[in-house]
Amino acid sequence: MANVDLDVKNSLDSFETLKEVFAAVAHQWRGPLSQINSIVGSIDNRLYEQNIDDPVLQKQLLQIEAITKEMSQTIDDYRGYFEKKNEMHSLKELVNQALKHELDLLAEDGIRVDIEIEEHIEFIGDELLLKQIIATLLENAKDAHLERNVYKPFIVMSAKSDDDFLFMKICDNAGGISKSVMQKIFEPSFTTKHSSEGTGLGLFMVKKLLDEKLQATIDVKNVESGSCFTLQIPKMKEDIK
């Protein structure tokens, strides 16, 4: 009994630490995001004053605004994860909602996304949490495709369930992950990107939030043409606080 109590205490301490770390990161992000939007507004005004009508510049400024808005929404979403209770959702519908803003961007890069999820499969939990996890894994796959200039790139999202677990897979054909990277891929601050392009927090946060909020696991394996991330999520009967 003492060991069980200790495990619970350690889990709670770990979750509180994660909550504090994210609060600090969110605080640091707010200022720069506001400054970026202010700069974009100044550039837009300057173009108007100079009577410059450049569709390419206008499109890029709108893209910057969309990215900063998405980052700001991500902050709000992650903050909500620490308070939100679990609910029942159609997994296919939830995935379609998560892909709503991602599909156009992936299509622009020539990446096809196939969803192989049956209508009856349900997810019990925090939908915002799972949507953000899906978005992170999709971004990870997209980066691998673009970095390697893959011919006819695709991502396949599938799911199955049994009495106890929901299994969800996100697979790609980007050539797989090296053994050295595979061993560190979920470690904090590990990234294969240049320091200006990534912090390494994405997959680390995915793993921690799955563990702390859903008691779920994630692993990754190489398949014939790429890599495959598998989420194993226990079917919750009650809310997890």
pLDDT at position 10 over 50: no
Range of the domain at 11: 2-81
Alpha carbon distance 35, 157 (integer Å): 37
Minimum mean pLDDT range among 7-21, 88-102, 105-119, 144-158: 7-21
Same domain? 66 vs 138: no
Distance CA 233, CA 161 (A): 9
Least confident of 72-76, 84-88, 100-104: 84-88
Residue 229 lies in a domain: yes
Total domain count, the chain: 2
Question: Cα(first)–Cα(last) distance of the chain, in Å?
Answer: 21
Average the pLDDT over 148-153 and give the result: 93
For residue 241, being part of any structural domain is answered with no
Is 104 found in the same domain as 67? no
Same domain, 47 and 28: yes
Give the amino acid at 59: K
d(CA 192, CA 163): 38
What's the average model confidence in pLDDT over 187-193?
65
State yes or no: pLDDT of 168 exceeds 90.
yes
Q: How many residues does the chain have?
A: 241
Cβ 152 vs Cβ 166: under 8 Å: no
pTM of the entire predicted model: 0.62
**Upper half-sphere CA count for residue 204 (Cβ side, 13 Å):** 13
